[in-house]
Structures are given as C-alpha cells and as structure tokens.
Structure 1
Amino acid sequence: KNTISIWPKGKMAARLILSAVIFITCMVCYYNSLQCGFVFDDISAIKDNRDLRPHMPLKNIFFNDFWGTPIHKEQSHKSYRPLCILTFRWNYALHQLEPMGYHLVNMMLHSIVCIMYFRMCSMFLPEISSFIAAMLFAVHPIHTEAMSDLEDFDLVFEIYSRGNNYFDHVFDENNGSGFIAENSG
C-alpha cells in the first residue's frame, strides 16, 4: 500500500505530537483574547463595514477597500484586502457581531501558521531546533496585536501566504517532490 507522507514514516507520530503541542500552546497562550471585544479599527473594519453583511453583494469586497468604501472614491483608504474581508464575512455569517468567534478563528489560523513554520524549519534544522523555533514564534509577544486586534488579522494571512508560497517554490524546484516523500508500506 502506497501512502504519501509529509515526513518519513518513523518520525510522523513524533512530529504530529509536536505539532499538537504547538497548536495547544498557541490556543492556551492567546486564550485570554477570547474575552476581548472589538477594539480600535475593528469597529470600522467589522462592526461598521457593510460588506460583511449577507444582504450586500459579494462582489463588493472586490471593488471596495478594507473599510467598505468604494476604492475609486476619494475618501477611500485604498487598502485592498478582499481575502481578509471575505473571511470576516464568513465569520459574520457564523458569529454575527460576536467577537469571540472572530478571535477563535484568529487563534486557530495563528496555530496553523505556527505548525507550518515548524514544518518549514524541519526541512533545514534538526527536529528539536525546529520545535523550539516554532514554539518561540508561537508565543512571541509581537503576535499579541495581531491576535487581539482583529483588524490586524491580515498579518496572519500574510505569514500564511508567504509560507505557502515558499512551500510551493520548494515543491516546484524539486520537480514536484519538494518535501513530500512517498513511502511504501
């Protein structure tokens, strides 16, 4: 039976456990953000942004700035982040204007980014070094604003996007083999 594995078969269980530890650490570290409401720019970006509402045409997120103002207007901030607004819209569909849901999604995405960072480091560093690097990245205070201020949610997307682009690059450079190894069992 052929299976595709991200890591060699013998290390998969250990890396899954380490990934779970990273995920849980992120969730515990930022657990207190679940109690936060909307702060600072969250009011304009989420509460007052009509593009998040289901009655507004979905296409608006592609023609309006981050704050819901048509991009062609002089009053527009000219910040174009449709993917972030789309996730806010999905969040709105699930949680309306309940901040806890937005913070929970943010925490989960941060956890996934940290696991991706661990996996990327594992390509170049020993296992323990990769784990330590990912744990430091996971709990570093610089992420506090992105976790507490939902408007900075796009920072999580930026990190994810750059990591994803890197993995795609490595995968393409190795003629499709990248860091994915086939194991036969």
Structure 2
Amino acid sequence: MGSRQSTQAKISQTPRASGGRSGGGEASAGIAGSAARGGRRTPLWPLLAALVLLAAVLPHLRSLQYGFVWDDKFMIGPQIDLTGPADLGRLWGTPFDALLRDPVLHNTYFRPVTLLSLALDRAIYASNPAGFHVTNVTAYAAACLFLW
C-alpha cells in the first residue's frame, strides 16, 4: 500500500509532456516563458482571415467585367424597382418565378431575400452589372469568412 501511494505521488509531480486542456506542457511553458521575457506572440487569425478573403475574392474578380446572363434580363428590371415602402411588401410576397413570365411555372418559388437584394442593387447601381457582381462577390466572401 505504501509503495502505491509513493508511485501516485511521483506521477502527480511529473510535469506533463503535452499541453492538454488543463494546460502545462512545453507549449504553454514556451508561451509563458516568452511572456515573462516581454515577448509577444502575434495572433495568426487576422492573417488567416485575410487569406480566406483572398481565396474567396480573387477567383471572382474577373466577373466584375461581365454583363448579365441567362435569366438576369427578366429578374433585373422595372418590376423590382423600389419606389416606396409598399414595394417592400410587394417584393416580399412576389414569387421569384413570377418574374420569369413563364406560363408553365406555377409561381410557388419564393425567394424574398434574393428579390430584396436585387431591388436594393438596382436602386444603388441601376442596370450596371458590375454593381450586382460586387454584391455577390462580397456576400460570398462574407459567407466564406463566417464559415471559417
């Protein structure tokens, strides 16, 4: 019994070799040592966030030069213009596929946030495709950053 207690005492006095959740280890000793010497560690998260943003934005920068495609000519027009507060309610209740003017569609596909975003883009950029692309690239970069 006595030897078992002395073994447990030795184990509890032995420093940890790896830094776990409870701290200790060489990694935390290095950080504590550098803090004690007055050194500061630069946080890496701003650099990593910048890399995430660059990886999200750089491949899509060229899209700023392009025009509208596919169904954009139906979606982006006077039917989404905002002239007053009543238009917000109108757009919120408008089925997205109703703007395509396709008699086959049943007008059941609602995307109110997308329509409001398009309406705000049209209010800001008129019919300039570059502005719409800037909004899309910005939204994509923000989503990448939030997911990171």
**Larger strand share, 1 or 2:** 1
Structure 1 residue ranges (4+ consecutive) displaced by more than 4 angstroms after TM superposition: 73-76
Using the TM superposition, give the Cα deviation of residue 77 of structure 1 relative to its aligned residue in structure 2, in angstroms: 3.0
Residue 53 of structure 1 is matched in structure 2 by 81
**Alignment-derived partner of residue 13 in structure 1:** 43
Instruction: Give the Cα separation in 2 of the matches to 1:101 and 1:23.
Output: 19
* Structure with greater contact order relative to length (CA < 8 Å, sep ≥ 6): 1
Tell me which structure has the larger Cα radius of gyration: 2
Decide whether the 8 Å contact of 1:65 with 1:76 is kept in 2: no
Distance verdict in 2 for CA 1:16–1:96, change over 3 Å: same
**TM-score by structure 1 length?**
0.50
Please tell me the residue identity of whatever aligns with 1:104: V
- For residue 24 of structure 1, report the CA deviation from its aligned partner: 2.0
* 2:114 corresponds to which of 84, 91, 95: 84
- State whether residues 61 and 85 of structure 1, in contact with CA within 8 Å, keep that contact through their aligned partners in structure 2: yes
Where does 1:137-152 land on structure 2 (aligned, <5 Å)? none
Q: What 5-or-longer segments of structure 2 have no aligned partner?
A: 1-39
Residues 105 and 82 of structure 1, relative CA distance in 2, 3 Å threshold: same
1:37 to 49, 52, 67: 67
- Provide the aligned length of Structure 1 versus Structure 2: 104
Aligned partners of 2:113 and 2:132: how far apart in 1? 15
Equivalent residue letter for 1:65:
P
CA RMSD of aligned residues (A): 2.6
Distance 1:83 1:45 in 2: 14
